[in-house]
Chain A
Amino acid sequence: METINDFVVVGSGISGAIVAHTLVTAGAKVRLLEVGHRDTTYKDLVPDKNFVDIRQEEALQHEYFLGKNFEGVPWGDTKVGEQLTPPRQFITHNVSDWLPLESNSFAPMESLAYGGLGSGWGLGCNVYRDHELTKMGLDSVTMQKAYQVVGDLVGVAATQDLARPYTLGQITTPYAAPQIDLNNQVLLNKYLKKQPKHTAKGFYIGQPAIAAITQAKGERQALAYHNMDFYTDQRRSAFRPWILIDQLKKQANFQYQPQAFVTAFREENEQVWVHYRDTNTTEQKQVKARKLILATGAIGSARIVLRSLGPDQQLPIVCNPYVYFACLQPRLLGKLIPKERTSLGQLAMFYDQPSQDVITSGIYSYSSLLLFRLMKEAPLNFKDARILFQYLHSALSVVGVHFADHPSSQKFLKLVANTTSITKDQLKIDYSLSDAEQLIIKKGSKKIAAFLRSLQCFPLKKIQTPAGASIHYGGTLPINDPSSAFSLDKQGRIRGTQNVFVADSAGFKYLPSQGLSFTIMAWAYWVAHQALKS
Chain B
Amino acid sequence: MTEQKRTDLQQEAEILARYLIRKKPTTKVVDLYVKAMQTVTLTYLPKDYTLLKLIIRKRFLLPYIDAGLGISVPNSVIRHKLLIMSAIVETQPQYASLFLNRKRSKLYWLVVGWVGLRSVGKAMVGWILLKLI
Contact = CB atoms under 8 A, between A and B. Distances in A.
B86 interface: yes
Contact of A370 (B19, B28, B43, B87): B87
Interface residues of A, number: 41
Interface string A317-343: 000000000000000011111000000
A413 B110 CA distance: 55
B101 A394 contact: yes
B91 A336 contact: no
A69 B118 CA distance: 35
Interface in B83-113: 83-84, 86-88, 90-93, 96-106, 108-109, 111-112
Interface residues of B, number: 49
A251 interface: no
A394 B102 CA distance: 9
B101 A337 contact: yes
Contact of A73 (B63, B74, B87, B122): B87
B36 interface: yes
A245 B100 CA distance: 38
A56 B84 CA distance: 20
A386 B91 CA distance: 14
B86 A52 contact: no
A59 interface: yes
Given A61-B91, A62-B88, A70-B36, A382 B66 contact: yes
Contact of B100 (A56, A66, A334, A384): A56
A483 interface: no
Nearest to A60: B91
B91 A382 contact: no
A380 B83 contact: no
B71 interface: yes
A113 B88 CA distance: 29
Interface stretch (A100-108, A192-200, A371-379): A371-379
A235 interface: no
B13 interface: no
B66 A69 contact: no
A55 interface: yes
A380 B112 CA distance: 13
B39 interface: yes
A383 B87 CA distance: 12
Contacts of A370: 87, 90-91, 99
Nearest to B77: A75
Most buried by B among A372, A381, A390, A393: A381
A390 B119 CA distance: 15
Contact of B83 (A73, A384, A394): A73
B9 interface: no
A66 B97 CA distance: 18
Given A334-B106, A381-B70, A61 B93 contact: yes
Interface string B30-74: 001000100110010000000000000000000100110011001
B80 interface: yes
Contacts of B108: 334, 391
Contacts of B92: 59, 62
B14 to A, nearest CB: 15
A57 B91 CA distance: 10
16 contacts: A52-B100, A55-B96, A55-B99, A62-B87, A66-B88, A66-B91, A70-B84, A73-B36, A370-B99, A371-B86, A371-B90, A372-B86, A372-B90, A380-B67, A387-B111, A394-B101
Given A334-B108, A381-B126, A393-B101, 8 more contacts: A55-B91, A59-B92, A69-B40, A75-B83, A375-B86, A380-B67, A390-B100, A394-B101
In the A-B complex, the 7 residue pairs with the smallest Cβ-Cβ separation, listed nearest first, are A334-B104, A381-B67, A62-B91, A336-B103, A384-B119, A381-B66, A372-B86
